[in-house]
């Protein structure tokens, strides 16, 4: 007998037996069904077992395995019918799936905010407590706000089309109206100062874009937090205090801040700020005293007001705190990663 035919016969046998046992309405009909299927001499199961001898030798292990399963299924159906006919609610209850109310439940997977969004919310919170309100600006900017007003003149290498996402590279105009995806959140400093008289105390958080090749520490889109404080008496010491309080609040513990001399067109003097954490000095971001040229560009009087500004990468902060080693994780949309936050 060919193997497929034999297996088909076993399937039919199970179906018939289950049907017979399930429909047995009293002990007599159950006994009749038992003899028909499980009878030791002439039962159909016994007959099937005999037929197995006619199955090809090489197919016999498969046939035997299926035969054993068949037998088990038929036994189970017979037992269940017996219990059912033994009557009483007890038997019925036993047939129901078991439910143990003391077992822990299956927790639902609830959606949650992206780790960068969570970080942004937390940074807003921290800086809010220091008196900074949140300002917003567009991600599509013009050259005036992204460069010119920030004291980055036309011939400056930072304006190179290869380093920026210009939206109209073919005809860059001379009036600083050419559009690009902003490369820094410093643009919002200009927008705020153009529209508000001093004093100013704002932060701005959002996406910035640079044509970098993605690797563990670079991504063509990332997030920055920008800070700007303008008043009559502001010093580098204030800047350092604010950055320190900021770092302490976000990273926890007693964080130290160090300034290294640096250069940014929009600040004078400029520094790179580092923080000390886990026995290491780690780059925090750029900062400095707002350059008088920037104040002039927005119509402020550099003789009357001074201020500081800073710009930090948000991914880098979040990565440091959570021990994330590859920035690309944030943007793969792999729920196994995202679910951890
Ligand atoms: N805009 C700078 C950047 O993207 C960061 C920065 C440096 C912002 C110094 C500032 C600043 O406000 O004062 O690299």
Evaluate whether 201 touches 131 at the Cβ level (below 8 Å): yes
- Mutation probe of ligand 1 site: the residue of 287, 294, 313 with most atoms within 8 A of C-beta: 287
Share of the chain above pLDDT 90, in %: 73
pLDDT given at position 243: 95
d(CA 121, CA 127): 10
- In order of their start, the domains of the chain are 3-95 (no CATH), 115-338 (3.30.930.10)
Closest approach atom of ligand 1 to CA 288: 13
User: pLDDT band at residue 96, thresholds of 50, 70 and 90?
Assistant: low
Q: Can you say how many angstroms the Cα of residue 169 is from the centroid of all Cα atoms in its chain?
A: 34
Average pLDDT estimate for 56-70: 91
Question: Which residue owns the Cα nearest ligand 1 atom 3?
Answer: 184
Residues in the chain: 341
CA proximity to 211, closest of 201, 222, 226, 202: 222
Q: Can you say how many angstroms the Cα of residue 26 is from the centroid of all Cα atoms in its chain?
A: 60
221 has a pLDDT exceeding 90: yes
β-bridge pairing 140-142 and 200-209: unpaired
Question: Which residue owns the Cα nearest ligand 1 atom 7?
Answer: 286
Beta strand residue intervals within the chain, DSSP E: 133-134, 140-142, 165-166, 179-181, 200-209, 221-231, 256-264, 267-277, 280-290, 306-313
User: pLDDT band at residue 232, thresholds of 50, 70 and 90?
Assistant: very high
pLDDT given at position 308: 98
93 has a pLDDT exceeding 90: no
β-bridge pairing 140-142 and 133-134: unpaired
User: pLDDT band at residue 52, thresholds of 50, 70 and 90?
Assistant: confident
222 or 93: whose pLDDT is higher? 222
242 has a pLDDT exceeding 80: yes
- Mutation probe of ligand 1 site: the residue of 152, 210, 243, 285 with most atoms within 8 A of C-beta: 285
227 or 176: whose pLDDT is higher? 227
Ranges of H-type helices in 218-300? 236-251, 292-297
Q: How high is the mean pLDDT of the chain?
A: 92
Average pLDDT estimate for 196-207: 98
Whether omega for the bond prior to residue 128 falls within 30 degrees of 0, making it cis, is no
Q: Is the pTM of this model over 0.85?
A: no
170 has a pLDDT exceeding 80: no
Using alpha carbons only, what angle is made at residue 258 by residues 116 and 283, rounded to the nearest 5 degrees? 35
Average pLDDT estimate for 305-318: 97
pLDDT given at position 261: 97
pLDDT given at position 105: 86
Whether omega for the bond prior to residue 199 falls within 30 degrees of 0, making it cis, is yes
Question: Which residue owns the Cα nearest ligand 1 atom 2?
Answer: 311
Q: Can you say how many angstroms the Cα of residue 139 is from the centroid of all Cα atoms in its chain?
A: 22
User: pLDDT band at residue 277, thresholds of 50, 70 and 90?
Assistant: confident
184 has a pLDDT exceeding 70: yes
pLDDT given at position 94: 55
pLDDT given at position 89: 47
| Cα(314) to centroid(ligand 1), Å | 13
95 has a pLDDT exceeding 70: no
């Amino acid at each position: 007998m060919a193997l497929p035919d034999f297996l088909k016969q076993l399937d039919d046998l199970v179906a018939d037996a289950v049907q017979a046992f399930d429909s047995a309405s009293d002990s007599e009909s159950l006994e009749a069904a038992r003899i028909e299927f499980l009878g030791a001499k002439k039962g159909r199961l016994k007959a099937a077992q005999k037929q197995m001898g006619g199955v090809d030798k090489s197919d016999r292990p498969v046939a035997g395995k299926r035969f054993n399963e068949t037998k088990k299924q038929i036994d189970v159906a017979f037992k269940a019918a017996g219990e059912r006919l033994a009557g009483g609610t007890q038997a019925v209850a036993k047939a129901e799936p078991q439910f143990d109310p003391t077992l822990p439940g299956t927790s639902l997977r609830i959606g949650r905010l992206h780790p960068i969004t969570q970080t942004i919310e937390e940074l807003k919170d921290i800086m809010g407590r220091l008196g900074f309100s949140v300002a917003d600006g567009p991600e599509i900017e013009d050259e005036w706000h992204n460069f010119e007003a920030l004291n980055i003149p036309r011939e400056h290498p930072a304006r190179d089309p290869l380093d920026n996402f210009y939206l109209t590279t073919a005809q860059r105009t001379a009036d600083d109206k050419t559009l690009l995806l902003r490369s820094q959140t410093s643009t919002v400093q200009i927008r705020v100062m153009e529209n508000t008289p001093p004093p100013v105390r704002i932060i701005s958080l959002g996406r910035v874009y640079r044509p970098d090749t993605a690797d563990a520490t670079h991504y063509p889109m990332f997030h920055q937090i920008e800070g700007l404080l303008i008043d009559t008496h502001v010093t580098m010491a204030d800047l350092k205090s604010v950055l320190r309080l900021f770092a302490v609040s976000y990273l926890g513990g007693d964080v130290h801040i160090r300034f290294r001399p640096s250069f940014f067109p929009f600040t004078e003097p400029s520094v790179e700020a580092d923080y000390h954490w886990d026995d290491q000095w780690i780059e925090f971001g750029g900062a400095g005293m707002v350059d008088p040229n920037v104040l002039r560009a927005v119509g402020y009087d550099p003789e009357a007001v001074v201020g500081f500004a800073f710009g930090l990468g948000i991914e880098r902060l979040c990565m440091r705190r959570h021990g994330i080693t590859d920035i690309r994780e944030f943007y793969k949309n792999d729920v196994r990663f995202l679910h951890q936050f």
